[in-house]
Structure 1
Amino acid sequence: MIGFYNYSVILTYLSLISSVFGMTQAIHGRFKIAVFCLALSGLCDMFDGKIARSMKNRTEDEKSFGIQIDSLCDVVCFGVFPAMICYLLGVRGPVGLVIIALYCVNSVIRLAYFNVMEMKGALVSEEGEKYYKGLPITSMAVVLPLVFMIQFFVSDFVFVICLHLALLVVGTLFVVNFRFKKPKNSTLAVLVAVVASALCIMLLRTRYRIEFRHGWPWLPWLRKL
């Protein structure tokens, strides 16, 4: 079989599987499960690099393979998947479709740029500290669950506007040329705690208020399966 098979990419594959499953749930209108799957993909992505670096005997080909696999999976997990959720929740019409297209295009541009810079070792400062250029694509795994919580406090119209703004702002920041240090473990722990709290409230304490939004003629039929 072609490819490289070792434990260094297991979490990356699990992240992809979670997002693909989340897509099937979003199509059926089960948005809570879909958002949960997105957050789970983000959690997997948070630690996949650490697991990969723990494998000290990787060849250069295996390292390059890991970089490419990570980016390809990120396109699905944090590019296409969030855009799909937002579309099904109401990001529609000419403006909505332009925003979705911009978000997806910028996510691909960012990942391609990151691959080039990573292979050149250009994302390390003179002090040896790693940093991000632009907003990481995985940020949507934090932003969307928090935005999803807004629906329980505002009208449906305001909620859909928030979805438009979230996609537009986050997608734009993917390619804006600014940099900041990669967060420390303590900061990551806080982010995980915040998102986990939002997910618990969403799953256990609330009901759907956003009705399933029919996007294509076959969706009502598919939902009955």
Structure 2
Amino acid sequence: MTTGNTEFKEQQPSILSFVKDLPNICSLAGLACTVLAIYFSILGVFYAAMIGMIWAVAFDWADGLVARRMKGRTGSDRIFGGQLDLLIDIVSYGVTPAVLLLSFGGFAPIFLVGAFVMLAASAIRLSYFSTFGLSGEAKYTGLALDNNNIILVFIFLFESFLSQGVFSVVLYISGVGLAALNVSQIKTPKLSGDPANVYRLAVYTLAITAIYGWKLL
């Protein structure tokens, strides 16, 4: 019995062997963008945070596109990649928007409630998806989490036209509203599954980067 277990352990690939898988490299690049978004949110450099948030989505969608086009990936590669993607999603689309809300609200206690709701909804949404997958119509149940970043970086374009107090309310309502949609029963299409949508996101990402890059000057 011990010998069998030893042989099984010896056959297991090393943890870091999965890092060389190109889709996983894309996922980790997205995580790097997420870390930057969190960092700049805490510092209050919100325009830079927006750039990090949208690039996190771009890399997330890219890893799926690359994975579908790659040949020779093993079952372990696909399972590991799927798990890595889910874990990064909770940080990119749950933790990051929550930190953004807290930071923009000056870390006032009332914003803790909104941040918790956003993060809890993200965790519940991902747990549901990992359990049941897509619906019978090949659609998501509830708004997919990547839409949170896509929508929030657009909403933030109006930040300069409103006072900080007013926009903090707008951001709060938007974040909680998205959280409600994340755990709702609405059916939404899997946008990242269509290569045309990936290219549209690429254009959107470059446009958002250019706009916020200009605002940073």
**What secondary structure is seen at the aligned counterpart in 2 of 1:57?**
coil
Distance 1:185 1:54 in 2: 11
- Residues 113-165 of structure 1, C-alpha deviation per residue, up to 9 Å, x if partnerless? 111223xxx5453xxxx322111111122112112111111122211111101
Residue 160 of structure 2: SS of its match in structure 1?
A: coil
List gaps (5 residues or longer) in structure 2: 1-13
Deviation readout 1:91-120 (Å, 9 max, x if unpaired)? 7545421111011011011111111223xx
Cα offset, 1:27, TM superposition: 2.3
* Residue in structure 1 matching 2:118, options 103, 108, 120: 103
1:2-21 superposed matches below 5 A: 2=15, 4-5=18-19, 6-21=21-36
- Aligned CA distance change for structure 1 residues 16 and 198 (closer, same or farther; 3 Å): closer
| In 2, Cα distance between equivalents of 1:196 and 1:89 | 24
- AA matched with 1:76: V
Q: How does 1:7-86 map to 2 (within 5 A)?
A: 7-86=22-101
- 1:127-166 aligned within 5 A: 130-166=138-174
More helix per residue: 1 or 2? 2
Runs ≥4 residues deviating over 6 A: none
Report the residue type matching 2:163 in the other structure: S
- Name the CA distance, whole Å, in 2 between partners of 1:26 and 1:94: 17
The offset of 1:16, in angstroms, is 0.3
Question: Which amino acid is 2:103 matched to?
Answer: L
| Mapped pair 1:114 → 2:124 | no
What amino acid maps onto 2:42 in structure 1?
Answer: I
Say whether the 8 Å CA contact 1:145–1:199 is kept in structure 2: no
Question: Is 1:87 matched with 2:102?
Answer: yes
SS at match of 2:140: strand
Aligned-pair CA distance for 1:64: 1.4
CA RMSD in angstroms, aligned pairs only: 2.2
Equivalent residue, structure 2, for 1:176: 184
What is the CA distance between 1:194 and its match in structure 2? 4.5
* Structure 1 contact 91–163 (Cα < 8 Å) conserved: no
Cα distance in structure 2, aligned partners of 1:172 and 1:117: 19
Post-superposition offset of 1:15: 0.3
The aligned amino acid for 2:207 is S
8 Å contact kept, 1:146–1:195 = no
Q: Secondary structure at the match of 1:58?
A: coil
Structure 1 residues 161-170 or 15-24, which shifts more? 15-24
